[in-house]
Chain A
Amino acid sequence: MSESHGRLPARWSWPRPGSLLTFVALLAFLAWSLAMLKIRPGELWDGFPAMLEVLGQMRPNWDRFVPISWRMLETLQMALVGCAIGVVLSVPVAVLAAKNHAPNRFVHALTRGLVTFVRTVPDLVWALLFIVWVGLGPFAGVLTLVVETIGFCGRFFADAFEETDQGPPEALTAMGARNVSVFACATLPAALPAMTNTALFAVEKAVRASVVLGLVGAGGIGVELKTAMEMFQYDRASMIIAYVFAMVFAVERLSGWLRSRI
């Protein structure tokens, strides 16, 4: 070995007092939360026989397969229509939310804030609002999914617009193209793969959400599931759950395959 490089740095060093204090505080908060939430694993054991009894009754009953299938089709239609409208509306929203395309900082911040707000409010709350507005049924569900999709795609489309290579837009600006042409000819084609990816995730998300929306009366298969559970018809409920699983699984596989081909 040649001459020494000086003293080797220690393999381990004590964390700084601030980091240590934060870590201890987090640990204390976690322990306090466990106590506050009355988490008693014993109850899992005590309630296990009752759970087994319900599970025993959950042998799928396929006698209502045809009417349930129509509800399932309605669920899928709600998801696709809500998502399609949401994706289209997300594009202008994302343009205003993207730092490099918004007309000014205020519009950028305002649109980003609105998109975050839309995403923060749970889908069941949106559904209840739209039920008040347009009444019970799939229309309220579709409106909920449109808003949910805008919250999701609006943010990720905006990120995609911000992350595109700024060279081609600069080249088109330099040759005197209008902003709309610069966006359509340079930014949009570059962002399209990321946007397609996001839109496919949005479809998956909408399909899953559309199942739950029926629980509050916003159309789709959820209405049937809620009725079956409330009437203790666990055989019907289990059939609906199996059906929903098959549909969500198929949509996720299809979307995954499509994403792999982008």
Chain B
Amino acid sequence: MTAIAVGADIALAVRGLRKSFQGGRVPVLQDVTLSIRSGERVALLGANGCGKSTLLRCMLRLIEPDAGTVDIGGVQVTGLRGRGLRRVRARVGLVFQKHNLVPRLSVLTNVLHGALARGLSFRVWRQSWAPAAERERALTCLDMVGLAHLADRRAGQLSGGQSQRVAIARALMQQPTTILADEPVASLDPVAADEVMEMFCRLVGQQGLTLVFVSHNLEHAVRYADRLIALRAGRIERDVPATGVQIEELRGLYE
């Protein structure tokens, strides 16, 4: 079952998306169609290998889809090149399972990199070169995730939970309208995972951002999402509001 919302407030729309690997022998996404309204929080569920991460990467063309279209904020991403593609990507924060910070650079520099696509170019390569206003904004983003006191520390010296918070601050520094998160807390212990997820969703809510997150944690999915989209073998199997869904019902997705 799929749903396409119609209207001006669509943050993200995917139509007929297909992707396969190894010359077409391994289909990963098969005719995926969905649309997500602005401010909506969507959990993407499904067993390993069902195409969730590929779907997120295809949305930003980090992986090139074989067919289908992706619209972000009313702009068709598929078919864009160069600056046009970079502009759309700049409006979408992507948070990875592994934080993907640059370990040898300071925490503040890593957060400043979130402003790379906003025309500041080399001024934000290092925090020492950055304009005062951007440094101030980066520190504010760090403050939002409770790590302003670690601004000078090397990113490689942080714990897993702290690193993921910095990655979230970097995504917020982009001033995005949408955030995609690929298992953002999967590598954290249960307590840190709850803390980071709670903080992440609170910040997303406060700023009115659209959120699509992949998770294997069904409790998180039900607690933090407005809508659940489940994939099985590259196709959308369920697309339902999160309210009233029992976790036990969702376990069937993994069988």
Cα A168 to Cα B174 in complex, Å, equals 15
Pairwise interchain contact A190-B104, C-beta atoms closer than 8 A: yes
Q: Give the dominant DSSP class at A's interface.
A: helix
Q: Find residues 165-196 in chain A having any chain B CB closer than 8 Å to their own CB.
A: 167-168, 170-178, 181, 184-186, 189-190, 192-193
- B86 at the A interface (CB under 8 A): yes
Beyond A181-B121, A181-B125, is A172–B98 a contact (Cβ under 8 Å)? no
Cα A39 to Cα B85 in complex, Å, equals 68
Pairwise interchain contact B88-A176, C-beta atoms closer than 8 A: yes
Which B residues lie within 8 Å of A190 (CB)? 102-104
Q: How large is the interface on B (under 10, 10 to 19, 20 to 34, 35 or more residues)?
A: 20 to 34
Beyond A176-B89, A177-B116, A177-B117, is A184–B102 a contact (Cβ under 8 Å)? no
Pairwise interchain contact A175-B96, C-beta atoms closer than 8 A: no
Pairwise interchain contact A184-B90, C-beta atoms closer than 8 A: no
- B94 at the A interface (CB under 8 A): yes
Pairwise interchain contact A171-B100, C-beta atoms closer than 8 A: yes
- B62 at the A interface (CB under 8 A): yes
Which A residues lie within 8 Å of B174 (CB)? 175-176
Pairwise interchain contact A174-B88, C-beta atoms closer than 8 A: no
Cα A172 to Cα B124 in complex, Å, equals 12
A-side interface residues, number (CB < 8 Å):
19
Beyond A173-B62, A189-B104, A190-B104, is A184–B122 a contact (Cβ under 8 Å)? yes
Which B residues lie within 8 Å of A172 (CB)? 113, 116
Pairwise interchain contact B62-A178, C-beta atoms closer than 8 A: no
Pairwise interchain contact B93-A175, C-beta atoms closer than 8 A: yes
B41 to chain A, nearest CB (A): 20
Beyond A174-B89, A175-B174, is A186–B116 a contact (Cβ under 8 Å)? no
Nearest A residue to B82, CB-CB: A178
Pairwise interchain contact B113-A185, C-beta atoms closer than 8 A: yes
Which A residues lie within 8 Å of B135 (CB)? none
Beyond A175-B94, A181-B125, A185-B113, is A168–B101 a contact (Cβ under 8 Å)? yes
Interface string of A48-80 (1 = CB under 8 A from B): 000000000000000000000000000000000
- Please give me the 4 A-B residue pairs with the lowest Cβ-Cβ distance, nearest first: A176-B117, A176-B89, A176-B90, A171-B100
